[in-house]
Amino acid sequence: MERFVSIGEAAKALGVSVTTLRRWEAQGRLIPEQTSGGHRRYNLARLKPEMFRASPDERRTVAYARVSGPDQKEDLGRQKRVLESYCAGQGWTCEVVADLGSGVNCQREGLRRLLGDLVEGHIGRLVVTRTDRLLRFGAELVFALCEAKDVEVVILNQGEETSFEEDLAKDVLEVITVLSVRLCGSRSSRNQKLLDGMKKAVEESQAC
């Protein structure tokens, strides 16, 4: 069935009359799409998502891997191998989604694709080596989405052992990196000096 349908088809799928749909539209309860010719089209994937949700047998196992920078590509490859080996040992066929970017950046391509598939109901199981591979801050929101979508979450807790201070330093450096990117367009030497000073202080604390 098509996602975008006419008002008559939408009314039939929802079990209501066309008049009811028009009333809901007037009340602002739903907003149809408009074609180039000005015709209403209703997105059934939003109005009745269970019609498009994959069955449990069709939902995929997805493994997610991430590192912060290009100098960690070797670790990214190791993460992939760990995830693939674990899934194979469980008899699961998995798809590995990998990102190269900061853990505080929510705009990563792989993460956005993963979240989109979770929302659409295409994923039945999510496997990660560690919680912070998804996000350093806010991974709980991803897990809440998984719970709402009845997605099994498997956290292997495998990875380099780091102290609290080392993890904190990495978090701060990644925040500074994101701020640097956002402020670089301002061409403010004051901003850049402030960020450089913060980064130097964190790096010196790591060396102690």
Structure tokens at 62: 């997805």
Say if residue 123 is exposed, middle or buried (CB neighbours under 10 Å; 0-12, 13-18, 19+): buried
d(CA 139, CA 121): 19
pLDDT per position as a tens digit, 100-130: 887 777 888 999 999 999 988 889 999 999 8
pLDDT per position as a tens digit, 15-67: 888 888 888 888 877 778 877 777 888 877 676 655 555 555 568 999 999 98
Place of tokens 């199981």: 125
